[in-house]
Every structure is written in C-alpha cells, then in structure tokens.
Structure 1
Amino acid sequence: MKFLQPLILKTVALGMSTVLCMSAATAQTPEPVVSVVFAGDIMLEGGPDRAIRRGRDPFAGVAHLFKGADVRLGNLECVVATVGSVEPEKPNVFRVHPRGLKYVQRHFDAVGLANNHSGDYGPEAFAQMLGLLKKSGLGYYGGGHNLKEAHTPLIFDREGVRIAVLGYDEFQPRNFEADHDRPGVAWSEDEQVVRDITDARRVWKADVVIPVMHWGWEESIANARQRALARLMIDAGADAVIGGHPHQLQDTDIYKGKPIFYSLGNFVFEGFPDKVNNLGWVVRLTLDRQGVRHWQAHTVKIDKQGLPRAPARPTQGEVIRE
C-alpha cells in the first residue's frame, strides 16, 4: 500500500507579507484544472457610485486579478434597486442604482446575496434586484425568490469540473430570510447547511462544493462559532469555506487539507477610516474534481473613495497540494 506523505505546513516572512504553504503528495494529479476567484464585500454606494456616474469603472484597479479565471465571484453588500422602503430601525442601509451592474457584470460571473444588507429596502427591492441581476447576465447564490431557490446551489460547469456554490447569512436581522412565498436570503441553520452541502453532491452532482458565509464579529480572529461551523461544513463535504462580514481580514485555517478563509474583508467599500478596514483579499482557488489544489491571495488596498487597488503579483499566502 502506498502512503501519502505527511502534511507539511510552513510560514515564510516576505517583508510585510506572509506566505503560508501546505503540501501533501498524491499519487496522481487529476485533470482538468479550473480557477475560481473570490472577492470580499462589494458596497457600491458613496464613492464607488460617484465614480460610476462619471463613467469610471470602480473595479479598474483590480481588473487584472480576475483575468483568466474560469469563475469570478464576490459578495454584493448592498441592494441594487429603484423601489422599496427602508427597513425600520436599521442604522445603516445601502441601495444603489442599477447603472452599476454593467461594471459588476464586466468582472464577475455571479454575486452572493446572503448578507445583512441585501434586504435593506424590503422584499420588493430584493425581488427587483434578482430580476436586474438576471437581465445583466449575472448569477447569484445565497438568495432567491423563495426559500427553495435561496438554498439551491449555483452550479458552474467548467472544463468538465462541476462546481456548486452556496451562500448563507447568520448576522441579524433575520427578517431578510427568504420564505416559501417571499424573496430573501438563505439563513444559516446547521442542519439545513449540512443538508444543502450533501444535496449539492447527491442531487446536483457537484464535484466541488464551496459554501460562502456571512458571519463573525468585527475583529481580526475568527470566533469559536465560525470555527465549529467551518469544520461541520467540511465534514459534510465542503471543499473550501469562504467568509465575510467582519469588514477586515481574519485568520485562515486548513482543516482536513481544505482551506478556510474566515473573512476576506472589504473589497469595494467607502466609509472606513482605519487601515485595517481598507485591506482585503482576492483569493484564487485552483480546483480539480478532487477539490482545491492550491490557492493564492492578493492583498487589495481601498482608497478614500472606496475603490480597490492591487499589485500584479500575489502578496499573501499560498496553499499547495502536489
């Protein structure tokens, strides 16, 4: 019997950056290979919308991070609509004009809706946003016209690799949750999340399953709830876990050889004065039918207008499965 080499973890300092490497030899590298890029929180109100109204692409400074990727995804942390009424007693609400979708569509294949702002203007605005996304040719996950659609994975078939993406919110208010006859987001309930991951393989015949979470507190280290749920999802069959909401980067784990990104931080977002809130990651996963082969994370810096910039080369972390 041929045994795999033991897992090797090492950290290398590179200036202000850190490279994390993980390798485990396998007997054979399966083909084909595809790449999926994830960005953090996209909030287009304020500076980004002002740029859009001047005909400027708010993603221009990071466009190179998405080139050549087979699938490009990000969390849409605002309502795209012209209708609806403000959610009462909610301190921060975000709604932007649909004109910005042409730039989102230019750089993304789909957006996540499972967050605590996509319902800011009620079910009517949420429903309009779903129609606008479809009209723009953008897919979505973590939300839908009803409960069933919200928990249905978004499927990508690239080069024969079938990828299922799911999205969940577990940050209040919960009244943004989809119901049997109401549009909204997919709420994170452990049993349902496990069932969805299992069904992604059993029903939807996915080779790779990636849940995207909106969770945690605004701090640099993931909490016990995030860690426990991430492991539960991987035990259920997830190949990687992508997180957001804390508005800053959080730590990264490897569990059973599978990467967990607790928070990618902000991506396009105006309004934070502190440096920690104006740094984020864009993560590129390289996948085959067995899961994640390796990943690279590019550090993104956000300017005072909420617009991102990034160098051409990866500046943070790489996990490699050989």
Structure 2
Amino acid sequence: MSRWQAVALVMLMVLGTTLARAADSVVRIAFVGDVMLAESERTGQLIAEGGDPFAHVRGLLAAADLRVANFESSAGTQGRPDAEKPFSFRTAQPALRVFSSVFDVAGVANNHAGDFGREDFAETLTALRAAGVQTFGGGPDLKTAHRALMIERKGVRIALLGYLDFFPRWFAATPGRPGVAWLDTDQAALDIARARHDGADVVLVVPHWGVEHEPRAHRRQRAAARALLAAGADAVIGGHPHVVQDHEVFRGKPVLYSLGNFVFDGFEDEDNNTGWVAFVDVDRQGVVSATTRVVKIDASGTPLPDPDRAGPCWCRGEAVMSPCAKVRP
C-alpha cells in the first residue's frame, strides 16, 4: 500500500466514524409552558427591580441543546389593549433580554400574542429575533405563520410547528396580514408534510389549547393530537390550561397535553403553581425519550425544581408513560 493510499484509507475511516457518530447523535430539547414577563405582572416587575425569575432553573435548562418556551405576551410598543379581553400583557425590553438569556426559541401561537393588535404582533416578532430568539407559530402572513421553524443540532434537522386553538380566532394570520397559526388539522397535515419535504428529520408540534384549570385533556384535544401524529408529527407538547394535564402514547409517539405554567404569578392554587419541564431527546429516527421535571412556582412567579414530585417519563418502544424516578439535588 502506497503512502497516499494509506492516507486515503485513514481519511475514509475518519469520515465513516464521523458519519456514524452523526447518525447516532441525540439532541436534547427542553420545552416549558407559559412564560409571563409582562411589565404589569410581578414577574416583569421582579426583573425591573434587578431580579431573575429564572435563577433557580438556569442550571436545569442548561443541560439541553435547545430551549423552547411559550412567550405569553406582546413585546411591541404599538396599539392598544384588546377591549374585549380582561387582560392584555406587554413585556418590556429588559425582561425580553432576560428571556433571551435562557431560551433559544419562543412559541408565539397563544391567546396573548395579539393583545395589542396585528402591527404590534409584527413588532413583537422583530423584537424577539433582534434579541436572538427564533420564533414559530406565527408570522407576517398566513404562509409564514404555518411554515415550520427548522433548526439543526448535531446533524439532526428539527422542525417546530405551533398552533392556537383558543380564542381570539380573529388573530389568526391571513394572506398579507400578520397573526398566529390557527389549529386546523387538515392544514397542519400539509404543514407537517412541507416540513418533511424541506428535510426535517423530526417534527414536533406545540399547540396552545384546552380548557383552563382542567387537569385532563378534552375530546377535541385528543382527536387533534392523534390527527397530528397520524399526519407524521413525532410528538405533541401542549400548553395553555395553566395546569399540567394528562398524557398518552399514540402510535408509539408521546403526547403531553399541557406543561402548565412555568414563569407566572397571580395564582393561589397548587395545581396552577406546578409545571413541567419536558426534556425531549430526538435523533434522526424521531423521539428517543421524553422526561419531565416538576417545578414549583413561588409567589413571585419564579419556578424552582421540586425533587419530591415526579412527572411522566417515556422511552422509544414503550406503550405508556410511567412516573419518572425522582431526582435529588
């Protein structure tokens, strides 16, 4: 064997090893529920006073390769509060910077994204991206709102799709007008197919749905989740009810109907002040596992890991989810 042949053989071996490692790469994605940092709320005021509502969970979230949160607020400066809603929320720039220091991605398909109107929502998208946070579940027009956010980590291409299934429906994006993606399962099937066509290895759907304060998903949620998975989604990770909800495995794929609150004040009941951090591990074949960690939210809206309670866990091939082993600090 000549010297050049030997060099070529070594290069092929190195390339083969690199490709094998890429094929086996597992990406850990952290999902959390509602994050409320509005300047009118205690959480936003805490930041204005120099505090950090994420202080006790930064280490927990740092274990993920990608961190995703539902951004439950406007971050613009335009418009007026929605007169038909009891609460309209706006996040100031200092709080937005704190948010961006923790999360890589913000889901905007929720019922408070449009609290100050369509132009303000467009500004909110710009503000989040300027802060270094990518967005999904909404856009400047209908087509963009329904286009998956594609992110690559460790050679795995991950598509995120977000949908709103709770009033106000008027805030759904339309051709030429900004807004959020409305949950229509036929349209979502097309969105999932488009994400696959664009090269997604994994498609994860994050719907904002359900009845507030209800611990179990209702029939509409269950039917929609199963339709999304049948259409090719690899997992469904929901939110909105302000409590954690039940879970299931359908066609070998996990569904977490609601992660509950994460950073949110103003609730007194324990179930409203309990949330899950969902760590979803994925590879090129789909979801490898889903692990939850329980957080308890204090009076200021700040989450703290709760080692005394266990959420659901699941691994590929298992027919049901089971309680996670408790994690001691």
Q: Give the secondary-structure state (helix, strand or coil) at the position aligned to 1:282.
A: strand
Q: 1:216 to 1:191 in 2, by over 3 A?
A: same
| Alignment map for 1:14-25 (pairs within 5 Å) | none
Within a 5 Å distance, the mapping from 1:268-283 to structure 2 comes to 268-283=263-278
Aligned to 1:296: 291
Offset at residue 82 of structure 1 (A): 2.1
Q: Deviations over 1:200-229 (max 9, x none)?
A: 101x21000001001111200001111111
CA distance in 2, matches of 1:69, 1:271: 29
Q: Which secondary structure state, in structure 1, belongs to the residue aligned with residue 24 of structure 2?
A: coil
What corresponds to 1:162 in structure 2? 157
1:35 corresponds to 2:28? yes
How do 1:42-81 and structure 2 match up within 5 A?
42-45=35-38, 46-81=41-76
Is 1:171 matched up with 2:171? Answer: no
Identity of aligned residues (%): 48
Residues 298 and 313 in structure 1, CA contact (< 8 A), matched pair in contact too: no
Q: Is 2:228 aligned against 1:233?
A: yes
**Paired residues of 1:215 and 1:226 also in contact (CA < 8 A):** yes
Task: State the SS of the aligned residue for 1:163.
Answer: strand
- 2:207 is the counterpart of 1:213: yes
Distance 1:312 1:161 in 2: 31
Deviation (angstroms), 1:88: 2.1
Q: Does 1:139 align with 2:159?
A: no
Contact 1:169 1:215 in 2 (8 A): yes
- 2:246 counterpart letter in structure 1: D
Counterpart of 2:321 in structure 1 is none
Q: Deviations over 1:79-104 (max 9, x none)?
A: 11222111121112111212211111
Aligned to 1:250: 245
Q: Deviations over 1:284-318 (max 9, x none)?
A: 01111111111210101111111111147983222
The CA deviation at 1:257 is 1.2
CA distance in 2, matches of 1:277, 1:284: 21
- The one-letter amino acid of 1:215's match is W
Output the TM-score relative to the length of structure 2: 0.86
Unaligned runs of 5+ in 1: 1-29
Equivalent position amino acid for 1:77 in 2: E
Report the count of equivalent residues: 293
Q: Identify the match of residue 184 of structure 1 among 158, 163, 179.
A: 179
Deviations 1:4-31 (A, max 9, x none): xxxxxxxxxxxxxxxxxxxxxxxxxx61
Q: CA deviation at 1:174?
A: 0.7
Deviations 1:88-143 (A, max 9, x none): 21112111212211111111111000011100100121111111111111100001
TM-score with structure 1 length normalisation?
0.88
- Aligned counterparts of 1:72 and 1:266: Cα–Cα separation in 2: 16
Structure 1 residue 191: deviation in Å? 1.0
CA-atom RMSD in angstroms: 1.6
Using the TM superposition, name which of 212-221 and 82-91 deviates more.
82-91
* More moved, 304-313 vs 96-105: 304-313
Q: Which has the higher contact order (CA 8 A, sep 6+)?
A: 1
Residue 230 of structure 1, CA deviation: 0.5
Q: Which amino acid letter does the alignment assign opposite residue 278 of structure 1?
A: N
Cα distance in 2, alignment partners of residues 192 and 278 from structure 1: 34
Cα distance, 1:179 vs. partner?
Answer: 1.4
SS in 1 for 2:254: strand
**Which secondary structure state, in structure 1, belongs to the residue aligned with residue 112 of structure 2?**
coil
Q: Which amino acid aligns with 2:121?
A: F
Q: Answer whether contact 1:65 1:312 (CA < 8 A) is retained.
A: no
What SS does the aligned partner of 2:83 have? coil
Q: Contact conserved, 1:119 with 1:126, CA < 8 A, in 2?
A: yes
Is 1:260 equivalent to 2:255 in the alignment?
yes
> Does structure 1 residue 114 correspond to structure 2 residue 94?
no
CA contact (8 A) 1:220 1:251 kept: yes
- Contact (CA 8 Å) 2:296, 2:306: kept in 1 or not? no
